[in-house]
C-alpha cells in the first residue's frame, strides 16, 4: 500500500501568492512521516488534500491504487471512511457520548473497516483503549467531555486507528499538550499503529518530534510565496 503524489499543485488561483508544489512524494506502508513547519506554512492545507477534503488544482494523489480525482464526492466520502483515519487538532469528540461510543464512531461510515476487525466492535474498542493506556473498566462508559485533555487526545487517536485504516493523518495532535503528555501521546500513538498495514502522516510545528519519525519533510520545501489560510 502506498500514498503516491505526483505534480501536485494547489493555490494557483489565489491572489496572495501561496502555492503548494509537490513534484513527487511516496509514503509506504509501515512508515511514519512528519510534515514540519510554522503556523501558516500550509501544513493543514496539505493534510486536507491528503484526506480528500480539498481538491488539488493540478496533479495526482493516489492511495490504495485509487486516484482521488477519479472519485465523485460521495465516492470520496466512502473511500475516506474506509482507508483514512484522522486525528483533528480540535479533536472533534462528542462530549456527551461515552469514550467507547466516540471511538466506535470511527467505524460508523466504514463497513469495510468494521468487517476487517477480527473481534466484535466492543472488544476491538476495549483492546485499542488498553493499547492506548485508557483502562476500559474505568473509562469505557465515561463521557468524553469529562476526561483530561491528554486522555481526550488518546480517544481521538483510538477513533482514527480503529479498524486499521491504511492511512492515519494527524493535524498538530500535541499542540495543546505539555512536554510530558506529548511524550506519552506519541509513545502510545506509535505503539497503537499497525505497521504491517498502516502509514502515519503527522503535521506539526514542533521540531523536537523529528527523531520519532522515519521521514521529515519541511513545508518550506513545498511552498512558493505567500502563506496558507
pLDDT at residue 225 is higher than 50: no
For the segment 193-222, the average pLDDT, to the nearest whole number, is 91
For the segment 121-131, the average pLDDT, to the nearest whole number, is 90
At 90, is the pLDDT very low, low, confident or very high (cuts 50, 70, 90)?
confident
Q: Are the CB atoms for 214 and 33 separated by under 8 Å? A: yes
Separation between Cα atoms, residue 210 and residue 128, nearest integer Å: 25
Region of 40 please: left (phi>0), alpha (psi -120 to 50) or beta.
Answer: left
- Which of 124, 184, 122 is CA-nearest to residue 149? 184
List domains and CATH numbers for the chain: 2-224 (3.40.50.300)
At 16, is the pLDDT very low, low, confident or very high (cuts 50, 70, 90)?
low
Q: What is the pLDDT of residues 133-156, one digit of tens each?
A: 899 999 999 999 999 988 999 999
Q: What is the pLDDT of residues 28-76, one digit of tens each?
A: 999 999 999 887 778 888 999 999 999 999 999 999 889 999 999 999 9
Amino acid at each position: 500500500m502506498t500514498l503516491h503524489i505526483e505534480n501536485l499543485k494547489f493555490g494557483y488561483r489565489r491572489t496572495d501568492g501561496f502555492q503548494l508544489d509537490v513534484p513527487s512524494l511516496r509514503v509506504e506502508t509501515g512508515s511514519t512521516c512528519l510534515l514540519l513547519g510554522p503556523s501558516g506554512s500550509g501544513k493543514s492545507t496539505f493534510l486536507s488534500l491528503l484526506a480528500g477534503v480539498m481538491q488539488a488544482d493540478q496533479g495526482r494523489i493516489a492511495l490504495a491504487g485509487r486516484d482521488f480525482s477519479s472519485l465523485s464526492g460521495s465516492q470520496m466520502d466512502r473511500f475516506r471512511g474506509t482507508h483514512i483515519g484522522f486525528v483533528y487538532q480540535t479533536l472533534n469528540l462528542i462530549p456527551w457520548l461515552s469514550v467507547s461510543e466516540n471511538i466506535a464512531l470511527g467505524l460508523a461510515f466504514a463497513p469495510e473497516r468494521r468487517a476487517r476487525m477480527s473481534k466484535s466492535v466492543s472488544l476491538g474498542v476495549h483492546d485499542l483503549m488498553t493499547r492506548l493506556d485508557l483502562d476500559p473498566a474505568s473509562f469505557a462508559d465515561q463521557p468524553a467531555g469529562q476526561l483530561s485533555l491528554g486522555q481526550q487526545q488518546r480517544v481521538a487517536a483510538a477513533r482514527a486507528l480503529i479498524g486499521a485504516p491504511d492511512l492515519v493523518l494527524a493535524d498538530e495532535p500535541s499542540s495543546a499538550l505539555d512536554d510530558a503528555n506529548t511524550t506519552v501521546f506519541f509513545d502510545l500513538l506509535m505503539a497503537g499503529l499497525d505497521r504491517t498495514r498502516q502509514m502515519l502522516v503527522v503535521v506539526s510545528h514542533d521540531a523536537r518530534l523529528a527523531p520519532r519519525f522515519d521521514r521529515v519533510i519541511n513545508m518550506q520545501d513545498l511552498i512558493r510565496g505567500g502563506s496558507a489560510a
